[in-house]
Chains A and B, each alone.
Chain A
């Protein structure tokens, strides 16, 4: 076999695989005219290509594939929603428990002024003439000594966990920190709730107008109307409301269209009123929520 034949055989395989015709001019065509082996190779490749085309076949996706996938997607979305709900409920319960605990702890405790004797009894420093073993010294506060003739008195037991002014201040600071954290959590939850209907920064914004136009193009005005209504709920603008009315009209639902147009006019009238003329002009003024709820 010639060395050139190897190169031409590769080229022939590529031409056959790409379903292209063999060029009639050029080096390959000239080589095919002169080389019988490469001509046989081409004939074999074409035959194999044909045999593969007619003999191989693949199974198709089952008829209920879309339904099954949609059901699976819905189930997944539902489970995620409920998981999120459980997490949020648990967080709310934790926050509530914390708040209650803080309120209970914040209740004013009977204050006692520490006397010099009491404060000295709390001191961790043992006196030199006590004769306590070093091991016992470490446990002096935790466990009063017994059997050594130096057992803690009743007043010492009470004063050992009694708050000192420094401890009062520390507790107060801790309370303030907890309260601040709780307030921050509440504010975060409130802002999350207010933006739950809008897109979060990580999600893709849905091009409602594009989708609705697509539905309109296909003649499905009901779907277009529903898309515009959804868009109004997410980010209400006059244009979207008007488009919802227009698509309702195209769908033949005149009463619904009138309702939409009425909202548009009402909103325009509100804008022209003297109380609102002082406000700076906006390109698209969001509708108030009261109007939306009536939709």
Chain B
């Protein structure tokens, strides 16, 4: 008589079900969904916008848009990939509005404010070389590099965020390392 679904863990609940429930007012479903994609969306936005406030704003806006436009979502596609596409579009819009990048340097945003003793052993000269090389890096190398080493995202998550295959992410990371090598040797 009772209709019991065979759910073993919350992981089994799909993003689409959670999104539909969140849209109808289910707060717990919303929290679960946000917990799944918050960090990756924010990391991507921070990488591009280089501003915490703007990155948070873009991430929130992306969640709201993705949930409100749920009836237009095709069930064959992945909800996470759809959300990340919205994040990417919003980032591009924000950059277009701003025209120029924020004057905040990479050092302020992506360097640890309380360095560990291990970090202190790193020569300051080498550290600054590393940063200037990252700043000079093309966008397609810098984004995966900062998301991988800075935001500690896995290659699969970066692939989802950028909308590219995982093998391409590894290729771009390798390209970034080779760019660093070339740049730092030239210096």
Interface residues in chain A, defined as those with a beta carbon under 8 Å from any beta carbon in chain B: 9-10, 13-14, 16-18, 41, 44-45, 48-49, 51-62, 65-66, 68-70, 72-73, 76-77, 80, 200, 202-207, 209-211, 213-215, 217-218, 220, 223, 227, 230, 238-240, 242-243, 246
B13 and A211 within 8 A (CB)? yes
Instruction: State whether A206 and B30 are in contact (beta carbons under 8 Å apart), knowing that A45-B181, A48-B181, A246-B2 are contacts in the complex.
Output: no
A73 and B67 within 8 A (CB)? yes
Contact of A211 (CB < 8 Å), options: B2, B21, B116, B118: B21
- Asked if B101 is at the interface of the complex by the 8 Å CB criterion, the answer is no
Shortest CB-to-CB span from B117 to chain A, Å, is: 10
Contact of A58 (CB < 8 Å), options: B21, B59, B150: B150
How far, in whole Å, are A202 and B34 apart by their CA atoms in the complex?
24
B178 and A58 within 8 A (CB)? no
B170 and A56 within 8 A (CB)? no
How far, in whole Å, are A60 and B153 apart by their CA atoms in the complex?
12
> Is chain A's interface secondary structure helix, strand, loop, or mixed overall?
helix
- Given the complex, which residues of B lie within 8 Å of A213, measured CB to CB? 4-5, 7
Identify the 10 closest CB pairs spanning chains A and B, nearest first.
Answer: A17-B173, A13-B174, A58-B151, A56-B150, A52-B149, A58-B150, A204-B20, A210-B5, A14-B174, A17-B174
Which B36-90 residues have a C-beta within 8 angstroms of A?
38-39, 42-43, 46, 52, 56, 59-61, 63-64, 67-68, 70-73, 75
- Asked if B102 is at the interface of the complex by the 8 Å CB criterion, the answer is no
Shortest CB-to-CB span from A197 to chain B, Å, is: 11
- Given the complex, which residues of B lie within 8 Å of A210, measured CB to CB? 5, 7, 13, 17
> Is chain B's interface secondary structure helix, strand, loop, or mixed overall?
helix
Interface residues on chain B, number (Cβ under 8 Å): 75
Shortest CB-to-CB span from A282 to chain B, Å, is: 14
A214 and B2 within 8 A (CB)? no
B170 and A17 within 8 A (CB)? yes
B7 and A214 within 8 A (CB)? yes
**CB nearest to A16 among chain B residues:** B177
Shortest CB-to-CB span from B32 to chain A, Å, is: 9
A214 and B13 within 8 A (CB)? yes
**CB nearest to B27 among chain A residues:** A70
A9 and B70 within 8 A (CB)? no
**CB nearest to A231 among chain B residues:** B3
- Asked if B1 is at the interface of the complex by the 8 Å CB criterion, the answer is yes
Instruction: State whether A18 and B155 are in contact (beta carbons under 8 Å apart), knowing that A210-B7, A217-B9 are contacts in the complex.
Output: yes
A56 and B110 within 8 A (CB)? yes
- Given the complex, which residues of A lie within 8 Å of B161, measured CB to CB? none
- Asked if B92 is at the interface of the complex by the 8 Å CB criterion, the answer is no
How far, in whole Å, are A62 and B52 apart by their CA atoms in the complex?
9
Which B1-37 residues have a C-beta within 8 angstroms of A?
1-5, 7-10, 12-13, 16-17, 19-24, 26-31, 34
The residue in B7, B43, B146 that gathers the most chain A C-beta atoms within 10 A of its C-beta is B7
How far, in whole Å, are A139 and B8 apart by their CA atoms in the complex?
84
- Given the complex, which residues of B lie within 8 Å of A220, measured CB to CB? 28
